[in-house]
Structure 1
Amino acid sequence: MANTVREKIGVVNAKDSKLVLAHMIFVIIALALGGTAGLIQVLERSGYFELPSWISYYQVLTLHGVVLALVLTTFFIMGFQFAAISRVCGGLTNTERRIGWIGFFMYATATVVAAIMILLNEATVLYTFYAPLQAHVIYYIALAVLVVGTWVSATAQLMSYFRWKRQHKGQKSPLLSYMVAINNVMWYICTIGVATSVLFMLIPWSVGWVETVNVSLSRTLFWYFGHALVYFWLLPAYMVWYAVLPKVIGTLGFSDNLARMSFMLFLFFSIPVGIHHQLTEPGIDAFWKSVQIVLTFMVVIPSLMTAFSMFAVFETYGRQQGAKGLVDWFKKLPWTDSRFVLPFIGMLFFIPGGIGGIINASGQMNQMVHNTIWIVGHFHITVGTPVVLTYFGAMMFLLPHITGRQLTPALNKMGLFFAYTWALGMTIMSAAMHFIGLTGAPRRSNFSEYGGHPIAETWQTYQIVQAVGGTFLFIGIMIGIVLFIRLMTSEKTGIVEEFPVATFMDENAPVTRFVENWKFLVLVTVFLVLVAYTVPIYQMLTEYTVGAKGFKLW
C-alpha cells in the first residue's frame, strides 16, 4: 500500500530510498568525526588543551579536512542526487539502482580504509596531500577507489536522466535532473586531474618505483580538481535554492531558463581556474596565472544570476503576503520554517564568502592572505556554512520523505535551533580567522609553534576566540546528530512528507537549445581547459621538475 501511495504522488521510489538513506548515514557519521576533530584543533591551538602523545595536531587536521571536505560532501551529494533523479524522473531501473549500490560500496569501503590509515598516522598529509608529504600507498589507492566509485554512481544518475530524455523526446527535462547531469559531467572532467596525479605519480612514488615526483605538476593537477571540487559541493546547494526553496515558501521560482543558464556557466568556468590557488608558486608564467584569474572572475556571473533569482523569489513571496515598503518583504519570509531558514542563512554567509573569494583570486591582494588562516576562515563561510546548512535544510524534508516519518513541530524547532547555533559559532570563529589572517597568522599550523613571533600573543588571544566559536559549532553538531536520529525515528502517520519541487514563472517557455546540447557543453568545457592548462603543464613537463628530494633542471 505504501509503495502504491508513493508512486501515485510522484516521490522518491521506495527502493531508491534505501540507497539514499545509506548515503545519509555516512554523512552524519562524517559530521560527528570531522566535527570532533575540528573542536580538538581549536582547543589545542587555544593553549588550554594538549593532545595526548599518541596523536599529532596534523593527524587531527588531516582527519578534519578529509572527513568533512571529501567524505561528508561526497556522500550527501550522491545521495541527494539519487533522490532528486528518482523524484523527478521516476524510480531508477534495477540496472541503474544496482550500479548506484556498486558505486556506494566502492566509496564507502574506500572511506573506511582511508580513515584507518589516517588514524594509524600513515596518511598525515592534510586534505590537499601535497608532495613531498608522503602517505602509505594504501591511502592513495583508497582515494583512487573513492573517485572511481563516484564515477560509477554518477553514471547511474546520468543513465536515468538520458533515459527520461529518450522517453520524452521534445520535452523540457526536469530542472533538477538537468542540474544533476551538469554537476556529474563537471565531476567527471575535474577528477581526471586528481586521478592522474594519484595513479601515475603518487602511488608509484609511495611504493618506491620512482625516486621523485614533479611537485609543481602534482599540485597543479590537484587544483585542477580542487577548485571544481568547491562547485561540486555548492551546486547541490544551488539545486535546493533554485528548485526547492520556492515551493517550500509557497511561490513560483523566478526562471527555469535562467537557472539552467547559470549551471551551464558553472560547468564552463569552475574547472579552468585552479591556478588561482597557486599565484605565489614558481614555475607558472604570470601570463597564464592572469588568464586563470580572468576565467575565475567569470564565475561571478552565474553567482550573481543566482543571487538575483533567489532574492527575486523572496521579494515576490513577500509582496504576495502584503509587503509594501522597499524591504518589508524581508519580514514576511517564513522565519518559523527550518526548511527555509537553514538554506537562507547559508545564502547570507555566502555573500561575505564571495567577497573573500574575489580577494583570494585577485593577484596582488592574494599576496596578503595566501597561506594564512584567512583562507581557512574563507573556506568555513563558503563551504562550512552555505553547504552544511543547506544540506541540513534538505534533510529536513528528505529524511522524513524517504523514511515515512513526520516533520513534527518539535523537530522543526530543533532545526531552527541548529541553524542559529551554527551561524553564531561560525560568525565568531571565522571572523577571528579572517582578522588574524590579515596579520599573517599561518594556515595549517599550530600557533603554539610560533612563540617567538612578534605578534604571537595577539594570535593566541584570537585563538581563544576561535575556540569559543568552535565550541558553539560543536554544540550545533550535537544538535544536528540528535536531529538526524529523530528525523528517522519520529512518528509514522501514513502520510508521506513532501519532497518539494518548484514550478517557475517561465515554466512553459521552451528551453534554450544549446543549454542541453551536451556535445556543445562538453566541447566548450574541454576547450577552456585546454586553453588554461596546455602551456603551463607542457612547461612543467619539459622545462623543469620540482622533485620530492629537491629542485632540478632537466
Structure 2
Amino acid sequence: MVNSMAKIKVDPRDAKLSMAHFYVAFAALAIGGLMGLLQTLVRSGKFELPAGIGYYEVLTVHGVLMGLVLTTFFIMGFQHAAVSRTAGTYSNAARRTGWIGFWVMLAGTAMAATMILLNQASVLYTFYAPLQAHWIFYLGLTFVVVGSWIDGVAQIMMYAKWRKNNPGKPSPLLTFMSIINTVLWIVATLGVAATVLFQLLPWSMGLVPTVNVLVSRTLFWYFGHPLVYFWLLPAYMCWYAVIPKVIGGKIFSDSLARLSFILFLLFSIPVGFHHQLTEPGIDPAWKFLQVILTFLVVIPSLMTAFSLFATFERAGRAKGATGLLGWIKVLPWGDARFTVPFIGMVAFIPAGAGGIVNASNQMDQVVHNTIWITGHFHLTLATSVVLTFFGISYWLVPHLTGRKLTKAMNKLAIIQAWIWFVGMVFMSGAMHLEGLLGGPRRSAFSTYGGAKQAAEWIPYQIAQAVGGSILFIGIILVLIIFINLAFFAPKGEEEFPVGEAENTEEAAPMVFENWKLWLGLTAALILFAYTIPFIDIIQNSPPGVKGYKTW
C-alpha cells in the first residue's frame, strides 16, 4: 500500500527544479547579507571598506541580490512547488520550460553580478539614470526578466492543463494564487523591460547619446511598486493557505482569499506616481489620482488581516480556548512553521502604517529620500516577507529533499527568528528615527548636512550597525539550517501543509477564473492612470542627458 503522504508529495523531478532556485536564492542571501553588514558598519563611522572597495558598490550588491535575486529565485521555486503540489506533477514540456527559465535567469544574474563586482555598475538596485552602468549589466537584467517570464509560463501551462481537465471547477487555491502573482509580475516587468531595452541598453552601448530621465524613472516605478506585492503575495500564500493547516485549523474563506489576490492585481500596478511625488514634470492631478489608487490596496490588506486572525481564533476555540484572547495561548508557538511567519505577520502592522505615510502627499514630504524609506523596506521585505520565506523553507526544503525538520533545527529556527526580530528592532527602528531627523538614504557620509546635524544622527547610525551585526548572525543561522535540511538532516517525509476551506460545500465562484475580465480591468486601470500623463511627459520633459558612468 502506498503511503498516503507520498501521494501528495511534490514529484522528485519538480522538486529538483524548485531546489535549484533555492540554491541560488540562499547564495544571494549569504553574499547580500554580508554586504548589508558592511554598509551599516561604514555608516557608523567606525569602519572603512578594505582594498579600495566603494560604498556604492557594496550598496548595489546588497540591493540587487536581496531585493531582486533572492526574492525572484525563491518565489519562483516556491510557486513551482506549490503548483506541482496542488495542480499535479509538471508535464515534461512545463518542466523543460521551467528549467529554461531558470538557466536564463541565472545567466542574467551572473552577467549583472560580474559588472557590479568589477565596480562597473554601482547604480543601486533602482539603477536610476543618468548614472550609467556597463551595457552587460543592463543585458543581464534583461535576461533575468525574460527568464522569469519563461519560469512563469511553466506555471501557467500547468494551470491551463488543470483547467482543461477539470472544467467548471475552481482551481486549487495555491495554484490560483501562484498564477495571480505570476501575471502581476509579467505585467509589472513590462515597464522595467521597456526602459532597459529601449532606453538604458542602447544608451550604455553608445547607440544613442542621451536618455530621458523622467521617462526611465516613470517606467521603473510602474514596475517598482508592484514589485513590493510580487514579494508580498507569496508570503500571503503561506499565511492564507499553509498556516491554517499548521495550526490545525481551516481556511476562513477560500473565496475571500481569491478576491483579495485579484484586488492586489488590480490596485498594485497603476500607482507608481506615489513614488514620484516630489518629482517635477508630472501633473499633480495624476499624482493625486494614483495616491487614491494606492490607498485602495488597504482594502485587500485589511481583508487578509481579518481572515488570518479569524482563522487563529477559530482554531484556538476549537482546541478549548475561552475568553477574549485565550486562543492565543493554544497556538503552536513551539512550531517554527508557525512562529517564524507569525513574527513576520506582526511586523507588517507597523510596516503597513509606514507605507501609508510614504503614500501620503503631505507626510511623504517629511520622509522622502531619507533613511526612513530604507527602514520601511526593511520592515516589509526584510522582515514580513523574508521571515515568512524562512518559515516556508523550514518545511519545504526537507519536503523537497526527502528529509525531516528535526527538533534541533526547529528550535534553532525559532531562535533565529527572534534574533532577526531583535536585530530589526535596532536597525529598522533607528532608520525610522534618523529619517525623521532628516538623515539621508543612500549616503555613506555621516557628516552629510553639517556637523551639528550629523552629531544628531550618530547614535542612530551606531544602533543600525548593532542591528546589522545581529541580523548577520541571523543570516548565518538561516544558512546553517538550510544546508542541514538540504543535505544532512535525517531521511524522511516532511509534510507540505495545505489547508482546507472551512465551508467545503460552497465552491469559489467561477468568476474568479475569468481572466478576460480581470486582465481587461487591469489593462483599463493602467491605461487610465498612465496614458495621458505619459504622453505629457514625452512631449514636455526636458532634453535627454548624456549620463555619468559609474566606473
Q: 5+ residue gaps in structure 2?
A: none
Report what 2:397 is aligned to: 399
Report what 2:509 is aligned to: 512
Cα distance between partner residues in 2 of 1:547 and 1:327:
60
Given that 2:169 and 2:510 are in contact with CA atoms closer than 8 Å, whether structure 1 keeps it comes out as no
The yes-or-no answer on 1:544 pairing with 2:541 is yes
State which of 155, 161, 169 in structure 2 corresponds to 1:171. Answer: 169
The yes-or-no answer on 1:502 pairing with 2:499 is yes
Cα distance between partner residues in 1 of 2:129 and 2:400:
43
Report what 2:454 is aligned to: 456
Cα distance between partner residues in 2 of 1:145 and 1:214:
23
Secondary structure, counterpart of 1:48 in structure 2: coil
Superposed, 1:162-201 pairs within 5 Å as 162-201=160-199
Cα distance between partner residues in 2 of 1:165 and 1:474:
44
Cα distance between partner residues in 2 of 1:347 and 1:11:
27
Deviation at 1:492, TM superposition (A): 3.5
The yes-or-no answer on 1:15 pairing with 2:4 is no
Superposed, 1:334-353 pairs within 5 Å as 334-353=332-351
The yes-or-no answer on 1:116 pairing with 2:114 is yes
| Counterpart amino acid of residue 311 in structure 2 | V
The yes-or-no answer on 1:55 pairing with 2:53 is yes
Superposed, 1:127-276 pairs within 5 Å as 127-276=125-274
Report what 1:289 is aligned to: 287
Secondary structure, counterpart of 2:542 in structure 1: strand
Given that 1:113 and 1:142 are in contact with CA atoms closer than 8 Å, whether structure 2 keeps it comes out as yes
Cα distance between partner residues in 1 of 2:311 and 2:532:
44
| Counterpart amino acid of residue 523 in structure 1 | G
Report what 1:318 is aligned to: 316
Secondary structure, counterpart of 1:469 in structure 2: helix
Report what 2:426 is aligned to: 428
Given that 2:97 and 2:150 are in contact with CA atoms closer than 8 Å, whether structure 1 keeps it comes out as yes
The CA RMSD measured in Å over matched residues stands at: 1.3
| Counterpart amino acid of residue 105 in structure 2 | Y
Secondary structure, counterpart of 1:349 in structure 2: helix
Cα distance between partner residues in 2 of 1:241 and 1:13:
24
Deviations, residues 420-463 of structure 1 (Å, cap 9, x unaligned):
00000001111100001001100110133527243101211210
State which of 36, 39, 63 in structure 2 corresponds to 1:41. Answer: 39
Normalization by structure 1: what TM-score?
Answer: 0.97
Given that 1:34 and 1:65 are in contact with CA atoms closer than 8 Å, whether structure 2 keeps it comes out as yes
Secondary structure, counterpart of 1:230 in structure 2: helix
Counting aligned pairs with the same residue, the percent is: 58
Go from structure 1 to structure 2 and tell me whether the alpha carbon gap of 1:546 and 1:258 turns closer, same or farther (over 3 Å shift).
farther
Report what 1:327 is aligned to: 325
Cα distance between partner residues in 1 of 2:10 and 2:522:
32
Report what 2:467 is aligned to: 469
Go from structure 1 to structure 2 and tell me whether the alpha carbon gap of 1:448 and 1:141 turns closer, same or farther (over 3 Å shift).
same
Secondary structure, counterpart of 1:385 in structure 2: helix
The yes-or-no answer on 1:355 pairing with 2:353 is yes
Report what 1:104 is aligned to: 102
Go from structure 1 to structure 2 and tell me whether the alpha carbon gap of 1:462 and 1:546 turns closer, same or farther (over 3 Å shift).
farther
Deviation at 1:53, TM superposition (A): 4.6
Report what 1:531 is aligned to: 528
Cα distance between partner residues in 1 of 2:189 and 2:230:
11
Deviation at 1:134, TM superposition (A): 0.3
Cα distance between partner residues in 2 of 1:451 and 1:36:
28
Normalization by structure 2: what TM-score?
Answer: 0.97
Cα distance between partner residues in 1 of 2:515 and 2:504:
22
State which of 483, 486, 506 in structure 2 corresponds to 1:485. Answer: 483
Deviation at 1:332, TM superposition (A): 1.6
Cα distance between partner residues in 2 of 1:5 and 1:85:
21
Given that 1:10 and 1:90 are in contact with CA atoms closer than 8 Å, whether structure 2 keeps it comes out as no
Go from structure 1 to structure 2 and tell me whether the alpha carbon gap of 1:94 and 1:539 turns closer, same or farther (over 3 Å shift).
same
Deviations, residues 79-117 of structure 1 (Å, cap 9, x unaligned):
000000000011100010000000000001111111111
| Counterpart amino acid of residue 102 in structure 2 | F
Cα distance between partner residues in 2 of 1:84 and 1:544:
45
Deviates more, 1:182-191 or 1:319-328: 319-328
Report what 1:26 is aligned to: 24
Cα distance between partner residues in 1 of 2:216 and 2:356:
25
Given that 1:23 and 1:75 are in contact with CA atoms closer than 8 Å, whether structure 2 keeps it comes out as yes
Secondary structure, counterpart of 2:457 in structure 1: helix
Q: 5+ residue gaps in structure 1?
A: none
Given that 2:203 and 2:210 are in contact with CA atoms closer than 8 Å, whether structure 1 keeps it comes out as yes
Deviations, residues 213-265 of structure 1 (Å, cap 9, x unaligned):
11001000000000000000000000000010000111111000000000000
The yes-or-no answer on 1:373 pairing with 2:371 is yes
Deviation at 1:323, TM superposition (A): 1.8
Deviations, residues 123-158 of structure 1 (Å, cap 9, x unaligned):
000110000000000000000010000000100000
Cα distance between partner residues in 1 of 2:263 and 2:29:
31
Given that 2:168 and 2:510 are in contact with CA atoms closer than 8 Å, whether structure 1 keeps it comes out as no
Cα distance between partner residues in 2 of 1:24 and 1:486:
14
Given that 1:377 and 1:433 are in contact with CA atoms closer than 8 Å, whether structure 2 keeps it comes out as yes
Deviation at 1:507, TM superposition (A): 2.6
| Counterpart amino acid of residue 407 in structure 1 | L
Secondary structure, counterpart of 2:52 in structure 1: coil
| Counterpart amino acid of residue 406 in structure 2 | T
Deviates more, 1:471-480 or 1:318-327: 318-327
Secondary structure, counterpart of 1:486 in structure 2: helix
Secondary structure, counterpart of 2:382 in structure 1: coil
| Counterpart amino acid of residue 533 in structure 1 | Y
Cα distance between partner residues in 2 of 1:472 and 1:138:
35
Given that 2:170 and 2:509 are in contact with CA atoms closer than 8 Å, whether structure 1 keeps it comes out as no
| Counterpart amino acid of residue 90 in structure 2 | L
Given that 2:313 and 2:328 are in contact with CA atoms closer than 8 Å, whether structure 1 keeps it comes out as yes
Given that 1:255 and 1:505 are in contact with CA atoms closer than 8 Å, whether structure 2 keeps it comes out as yes
Deviation at 1:328, TM superposition (A): 1.6
Cα distance between partner residues in 2 of 1:166 and 1:38:
47
Cα distance between partner residues in 2 of 1:337 and 1:136:
47
Deviation at 1:511, TM superposition (A): 1.7
Cα distance between partner residues in 2 of 1:542 and 1:32:
45
